[in-house]
Structures are given as C-alpha cells and as structure tokens.
Amino acid sequence: MASPEASLGLDVTVEAWAVSGVTALPARISAPIDAIAPARSGARSSFPSADRHESGHLDHFVVGKRLGVGGMGAVYFAHDASLDRAVAIKILPDELALKAEAHERFIREAQAQARVSSPNVVQIYFIGRVPGESLATPIPGAASAGPGSLYFAMELAPGGSLEASLDRGEHLDPDLGRRQMIHVARGLRDAYAEGIVHRDIKPGNLLLGRDGAVKIADFGLAKPRDPNLDLTRDGAVLGTPLYMAPEQAMGEPLDHRADMYALGATFFHLLTGSPPFDAPNAVAMISKHLTAKTPRVRERVAAVPLRLAAIVERLMAKDRAQRYATYDDLLAALDAAAPERIEHAGFWTRGAAAGIDLVLASLLIGALGAFGLVVYIAAIAVAHGLYGQTLGKYLLRIEVQRLDGGRLGVPRALARTLASLWLPFLVALLILLTQGLRALQGNVVRLAKIDSFRELIVPIIGSYAVLTLLYVAGFVIAAFHRQKRGTHDMIAGTHVVYRLGPKQGGAPRSTATPRRAG
C-alpha cells in the first residue's frame, strides 16, 4: 500500500549549485535525501505523532487526520464549515515556521497554484495563519490577523497520487498512461498560460480526482516568468533528480520545455515501472540526465506502442529544441497516438481469405508435389510473421496480429500455421480409417502427379469445394467466440482484424478519445 507521503505527492526535493562542467557538480542538499527514492512513511516528519493540529480549528476549517508530510508542509484532511465540503489543508512545518524565506516560498506556492484555473490543477481555496506562532512576514489579504505560521486550504484529490502504482511495483497500462499524460499536459499548458513553470513534475505531484482526472499539485518550486518575481538565488538548482531536465540541473533559464522533460521522465517511470536512469546518489543522477543517452521505453516494456514510446523519448531529448515547441503540439501528438479501433475479422471474410490461400496451395502442390506443400507452409509463415497478411488476407484487407497489436514474428507464425493444419490431418485420418492406407497413398500420389493448371481445374471445383466446407468447420469456435479467434489463434496468441487504420509509420488519425475494441 502506498505511504501517506506517496499518496499526497510529498517527497524529497534536492537543491544543488550548478557549476560549469558536468563532472564538477557538487551537491548542496537542502534536505536529507535517501538518495532519490520517494519519501516513505515516517520520513523527515517535524510533526509529533500526537499532532497538535489534528482535531483543531483553523479559521472556519475543522482539521482532521494528518494525511502526509514532506519538506515544505504537512497535509491534513479537513472540513470547510463555511461551505460544508471536504478539503485538504497544508501547514508549514515547525522547523520552517520562523523562517521568512520558507514563508515566501509557501505563499508563492499558494499564489501560483491559485492563479491557474484548470480542471487539471489542484485548486487553492484559502490562505491563512496558524495562531500562536511569531513571524513578522505579513500575508496580504489573509483572514487571520497577528503572527503565526502559514496554511492553505485546497481541493481534496481522493484518488491519491500516481506514485501509488510505483509503490505497488506496477506500471501503467499504456493507453491509460497516454490519457493521463494528456491531463497533465493540459494542466501544464494552463499554468504556462499564466506564466508559470512548475519545475517539479513527478508521480507524487500528480493526483487523481474523483472523476479520474489527473491534477497537478505542489507548486512550491513554481517559477513565474517575470524576472522581478524571482525568489531563488542565482545558480540554484531546485527539483527532483529522478525527473530533472538537463537545463534545470545546470541552473539555466527555464521555460515550459523543462516541465516537458520532467513529464517525459515521469511517464517513462510510470509506463515501465523503473526510472529512466539509475544512480547511487543525487549528483550521479543529475549527471545521468546531463550526459547519458535517453533510454528506450520499449526496451523496458515492449507492449508500449511505438508512437507513445516515441513521444516519451522526444520529451526527454537533451536539447530542449528537440522537444515539442508548444503544449498544443504535444497534445496533438498524444491525441494521434490513440490506439487504432479494433474490429475483428468476421467469419465469412476469414473463410474467403482461407479459400484464396487454399487455391494458391493447390497450385503449388500440383506443380511441385510434396515439396510444394513445404514451400507453401514456409511462405505462409514468413508472410504472417513479417507482414501479418497472406495473399487472401491482403486482398480482403485483414491481417493477423499478436494480441498486443504487434507483428507475429516467424517462429510464432510458423506455430500458428502448423496449428491451423489440423484439418488436413483430420481429412487424411478419415481417409485412412474409412478407405485404408493404400487409398490415402493413392490420393497423395495422384495429387503429386498433376502437372498442369488445366488438370487442376476439376480437383479445385470438386474436391476443394468439399475441403473448403471442412475447413470452415475449423472456424466454428470462431463463430461463437467474442473475439472471433480460431483454435490456432488461441494457441498462438493471435487474432485477425480488419485493417481499418493506417499502416505502421503512416499518417496517424487524430481522435480525442480512445477507440473501443469491436
């Protein structure tokens, strides 16, 4: 089960000083870091187990159970008595309560988050002071007068964070990950429209709302584009090393493409179950982001579609100019990466394709004898393995695929072909049982001696009419199976579908929602 910190996206953040050159990157860590793993339950809590805020009141909020704690605040469940709704409340921790710089950052987080009106950003409702603690920094517009630490009330996201799947050792279904990337990209686009770069996108800061929409939280490191509002020191590097953009690690001026890099690294982790890079400490991890080759998504999880993997890898390009120019460009690419609509090939279409292929088989066997059968089986296996289509399937625009949509490969295609030949073996067995071995041998010999197309016409019209009916019997299970898969498909892990969408590498269709399997 995910820890409270993971559920609310409160984990360790690194602050380092960037210097020229990759190898000379001394880390100046702003908080203890169990290297770069997400914070776990009990880590760095400055709030005692008997929390004085629990069951208390802050203005018109009734504070409930503490849900999680991180470097810049503890988060509590609370009830907004004025509007009768559940909220989350974030309170600055004890060791930061008397530090003006921490208060400035806390206020900036609330103000930045409140400026963004987006269904994919956690909304801020109220900011106020915790009574009884002294501090001289005023809060413009705060309801509570007098000294005190800070808190703000925000939208409650009951679904927890995307980090929970990582805590369970899981990785996201590819299309669910694609749709969640769309949510985050929309939220980042809305934030950037207000001049805000988040600078700390990671699984723990992406929360699930009641409707399943992903919402961006924790704008504590958000940086306005207005240079007059820069509250970080020159050369300071803020962020989480697992997902940090190279230009962010070097302390360079940032734009929305730094958040794009973090988005790509985050979903690389979520889609594969492992972070893009592995390193023993924060400095080594930052060095990997600066110099190491971008890893391939499909080398970790082959089931991730090519187009989605390409998007994630482009987001993680070292050179920010190679990433997407705008969020609209990114959203268009994610939209176009929606899976093709799957419509399984029907009973009669597959039967007709099989009939065409049987004619081809008869020609080969008639011309080459037994060797023709070997050639036919090899040709069918190669055609299915590399292209998903035989002549019959090509003419009727259907193809055979693995269940994940990929190509079969020759070994799997050969196994499927051999499994599909059970019917000829059954016919041979029937001849053997009813007419004897000599009759079976005679049929084979007569077939092998046919040496002209003219002599094949009568066998095709006569015996293959019967053979086609028998072959159709092999698809009886397909007539009742919901996915229209024959026995050999179930053995080989394949299905036959109509080729409705573009071929791999062609121009993708754009759609806002994933297409449903037929």
CATH code (residue 234) = 1.10.510.10
CB 133 within 8 A of CB 159: no
Residues 385 and 464 in one domain: yes
CB atoms within 10 A of CB 405: 15
Domain ends where: 336, 363, 379?
336
Which alpha helices (H) appear in 436-480, and where do they start and end?
Answer: 437-449, 453-461, 463-473, 476-480
Separation CA 127–CA 152 (nearest Å): 4
pLDDT at residue 192, rounded to an integer: 95
Residues 175 and 220 in one domain: yes
Residues 317 and 373 in one domain: no
Query: What are 258's two structure tokens?
Result: 């730094």
CB 67 within 8 A of CB 60: no
pTM above 0.75, yes or no: no
CB atoms within 10 A of CB 236: 14
pLDDT at residue 432, rounded to an integer: 73
In a domain? residue 170: yes
Separation CA 131–CA 142 (nearest Å): 12
pLDDT at residue 31, rounded to an integer: 30
For the question of residue 11 being annotated catalytic, the response is no
pLDDT at residue 120, rounded to an integer: 95
Helix, strand or coil for residue 305? coil
Residues 172 and 313 in one domain: yes
Residues 258 and 200 in one domain: yes
In a domain? residue 464: yes
Separation CA 166–CA 204 (nearest Å): 10
pLDDT at residue 24, rounded to an integer: 34
User: Which residues, 6+ apart, have CB-to-CB distance to 236 below 8 Å?
Assistant: 15, 17, 251
Residues 260 and 296 in one domain: yes
CB atoms within 10 A of CB 430: 12
The vertex-245 CA angle with 239 and 246, nearest 5°, equals 115
CB 148 within 8 A of CB 130: yes
Structural domain boundaries, residue 203: 160-336
Residues 318 and 380 in one domain: no
CB 77 within 8 A of CB 156: yes
In a domain? residue 1: no
Residues 374 and 226 in one domain: no
Helix (H), strand (E), coil (C) string for 351-399 = HHHHHHHHHHHHHHHHHHCHHHHHHHHHHHHHHHHHHCCCHHHHHCCEE
Residues 332 and 355 in one domain: no
Helices 453-461 and 463-473, axial angle in degrees (round to 10): 50
CB 428 within 8 A of CB 419: no
CB atoms within 10 A of CB 370: 11
The identity of residue 402, as a single letter, is R
Helix, strand or coil for residue 401? strand
CB 120 within 8 A of CB 110: no
pLDDT at residue 123, rounded to an integer: 94
Domain ends where: 287, 306, 336?
336
Which residue has tokens 């419509």?
343
Task: Please name the helix (run of DSSP H) or strand (run of DSSP E) that holds residue 343, with its range, or none.
Answer: none
In a domain? residue 16: no
The count of domains in the chain is: 2
CA proximity to 223, closest of 252, 246, 202, 243:
252
Residues 319 and 357 in one domain: no
Separation CA 472–CA 465 (nearest Å): 11
Residues 294 and 426 in one domain: no
CB atoms within 10 A of CB 251: 19
In a domain? residue 128: no
Domain ends where: 274, 308, 336?
336
Separation CA 407–CA 410 (nearest Å): 9
What secondary structure letter does DSSP report for 308? H
Residues 173 and 308 in one domain: yes
pLDDT at residue 3, rounded to an integer: 37
In a domain? residue 144: no
> pLDDT 10s per residue in the chain (518 long)?
343 333 333 334 443 323 223 333 333 323 322 223 333 333 344 445 457 788 788 999 999 998 877 667 789 999 999 999 999 999 988 777 777 788 888 888 888 899 999 999 999 999 998 876 544 445 555 444 445 688 999 999 988 899 988 988 888 999 999 999 999 999 999 999 999 999 999 999 999 998 889 999 988 777 665 443 333 444 445 678 999 999 999 989 999 999 999 999 999 999 999 999 999 998 999 999 999 999 999 999 998 988 899 999 999 999 999 999 999 999 999 998 887 656 677 767 877 888 888 788 778 777 776 677 778 888 888 988 888 888 888 888 888 887 666 778 888 888 877 777 665 666 667 777 887 777 766 665 555 454 544 454 444 444 444 545 555 555 555 555 545 566 667 666 777 776 644 333 333 333 333 333 33
pLDDT at residue 147, rounded to an integer: 54
Helix, strand or coil for residue 245? coil
The vertex-19 CA angle with 16 and 25, nearest 5°, equals 60
Q: Which residues pair with 15 in a beta bridge?
A: 238
What length does the chain have?
Answer: 518
In a domain? residue 108: no
Catalytic residue selected from 200, 218, 357, 489? 200
Query: What are 134's two structure tokens?
Result: 């002294």
In a domain? residue 175: yes
* Residues 65-89: b if buried by 16+ CB within 10 A, e if exposed: ebbbbbbbbbbbbbbbeeeeeebbb
